[in-house]
Amino acid sequence: MSTKEKILDAALTLFSENGYDGTSVEQIANKVGIRAPSLYKHYAGKEEILNALIDSAQAHYEEMFGSEMNIGRVPESGEEFIRAEMGRIAFTIRDPVIRKTRMLLVQEQFRSERIAEVTTMHQLTGIQRMYAKLLEEMMKKGLVGEDDPALLATELTAPAVLLIAKADRQPQSLKEIEESIERHLRHFCAVYMKK
Amino acid sequence: MSTKEKILDAALTLFSENGYDGTSVEQIANKVGIRAPSLYKHYAGKEEILNALIDSAQAHYEEMFGSEMNIGRVPESGEEFIRAEMGRIAFTIRDPVIRKTRMLLVQEQFRSERIAEVTTMHQLTGIQRMYAKLLEEMMKKGLVGEDDPALLATELTAPAVLLIAKADRQPQSLKEIEESIERHLRHFCAVYMKK
DNA sequence: GTGCAAAGCTAATGTTTATTAGCCATGATC
DNA sequence: GATCATGGCTAATAAACATTAGCTTTGCAC
């Protein structure tokens, strides 16, 4: 990993834990193993590091939810759907980079319009576009009753997004939270899926 | 309004806009119309101001969702339910103190366990407890089919909470967001309410 | 009206912070 | 082997910040 990448990595960790204003350039440099002034050989300033992290978050999400989005295998049954989603969610909750990116965005969302937009994409538009697509496929297969896929995507994702945010705040209740998410998914299937 | 209250008011505005670490004691004092050192006649330090704001947020929510909670009138029809909820939401989105409190909590949620808990209460437990109660009453009246009120409360509130958070970030799309919330409420009624 | 507490002020302090200047080592290029 | 860019370092700077010390004013109690 290049120093430039190490800096991003350290900054993501520190920003997610203590916020942008709560993190000093020196702390970042320490974590990388260099002195603060050396950091300026790689980035013009502290703000540029934040911008690079937001760029990376945006790129990551555009890749994930972009035009040629990857919905993966369309499930054949409710049980398969639940299993697949719980796997995806367990990963999303635990993956350090995704988790830190979430925490960074939520804390810095009011710092600029740009960050606000990326946060919205992250919490709402992005995921919903993806799940609307998946639900549309499931409707075509006759697994889910015909309905507005975008609306159903909101109903499906919103509780999960909020519970994942809770898990970031209170990781000690992770197990309980995952159970809540599963209960929600089962309820969703019971309501919208044909038997 | 006493100086002590003016300080809290100014701090809430500034913290919600620029975050705790992004706000200086001098800025708060300026907004109040005093000099920074005078502020210490009222609060022992910057952190104590934050604590007082969190206390106030917690008290406000405990009053709202506490043991003797106020669900208000139980609606008689879906249309009445939607109208009442849209009114409540329009108020919650626009009321300056509630809005700033939300913005403060979301930005500072990782600063302490205490703030994390209040944030969760704010976004999840509190509202859900209240709506579970309301839905239970509606079930008793036969307006909503028998189901787990807590689970249904999650389904009802989560999309609204996320959309309100979006409105805080992007107030220019407020109108569109309120339409989305209404669409969600109508969908909720269509799915769970008896005709 | 004297005493006193509350709440304002200025000045100062000590620390932290982001950033710049300028020097040195290293390792690739010609 | 000279050149030179890259990336590290130390030292320094200038600003911002939270907080303290200590003085003054104000207004109420008696």
Q: Burial-class residue A78 by CB neighbours within 10 Å (0-12, 13-18, 19+).
A: buried
| B159 inside domain | yes
Residues A94 and A175 in one domain: yes
**Total domain count for chain B?**
2
Q: Cα–Cα distance between B106 and B116 in angstroms, integer?
A: 9
Q: Burial-class residue B172 by CB neighbours within 10 Å (0-12, 13-18, 19+).
A: exposed
Residues B40 and B77 in one domain: no
pLDDT computed for residue A49 by the predictor: 98
pLDDT computed for residue A187 by the predictor: 98
| A80 inside domain | yes
- The residue out of B52, B74, B94 marking a domain boundary is B52
Domain of A31: which CATH number?
Answer: 1.10.10.60
| A160 inside domain | yes
| B24 interaction partners in chain A (CB closer than 8 Å) | none
pLDDT computed for residue B69 by the predictor: 64
pLDDT computed for residue A61 by the predictor: 85
| B57 inside domain | no
Instruction: For chain A, give the mean pLDDT.
Output: 95
Instruction: Give yes or no for residue A68 having a pLDDT over 70.
Output: no
Minimum CA–CA partner of B153 in chain A: A159
| A59 inside domain | no
Residues A48 and A104 in one domain: no
Residues A11 and A73 in one domain: no
| B60 inside domain | no
Residues B165 and B187 in one domain: yes
| B131 inside domain | yes
Q: What domain range is A182 assigned to?
A: 65-192
| B162 interaction partners in chain A (CB closer than 8 Å) | 123-124, 158, 161-162
pLDDT computed for residue B175 by the predictor: 98
pLDDT computed for residue B67 by the predictor: 60
Strand partners, A144: A193
Residues A16 and A38 in one domain: yes
Minimum CA–CA partner of B165 in chain A: A120
SS (H, E, C) chain B: CCHHHHHHHHHHHHHHHHCCCCCCHHHHHHHHCCCHHHHHHCCCCHHHHHHHHHHHHHHHHHHHHCCCCCCCCCCCCHHHHHHHHHHHHHHHHHCHHHHHHHHHHHHHCCCCHHHHHHHHHHHHHHHHHHHHHHHHHHHHCCCECCCCHHHHHHHHHHHHHHHHHHHHHCHHHHHHHHHHHHHHHHHHHHHHECC
Q: Is 0.75 topped by the overall pTM? A: yes
Helix (H) or strand (E) holding A86: helix A78-94
**Nearest to A50, CA basis, from A14, A1, A88:** A14
Residues B127 and B92 in one domain: yes
User: What are the tens digits of pLDDT across the range A122-167?
Assistant: 999 999 999 999 999 999 999 999 999 999 999 999 999 999 999 9
Residues A39 and A73 in one domain: no
Distance from CA of B114 to the nearest CA of A (A): 10
Q: Cα–Cα distance between B133 and B142 in angstroms, integer?
A: 14
Residues A76 and A128 in one domain: yes
Could A17 and B107 be called an inter-chain contact, meaning their C-beta atoms sit closer than 8 Å?
Answer: no
Residues A137 and A170 in one domain: yes
pLDDT means over runs of 10, chain B (195 residues): 96 98 98 97 98 96 73 91 97 97 98 98 94 95 95 98 98 98 98 86
Residues B19 and B96 in one domain: no
Helix (H, G, I), strand (E, B) or coil at A181: helix
Residues B33 and B82 in one domain: no
Q: Cα–Cα distance between A179 and A181 in angstroms, integer?
A: 5
pLDDT computed for residue A168 by the predictor: 98
More confident residue, B184 or A61: B184
| A149 inside domain | yes
pLDDT computed for residue A55 by the predictor: 98
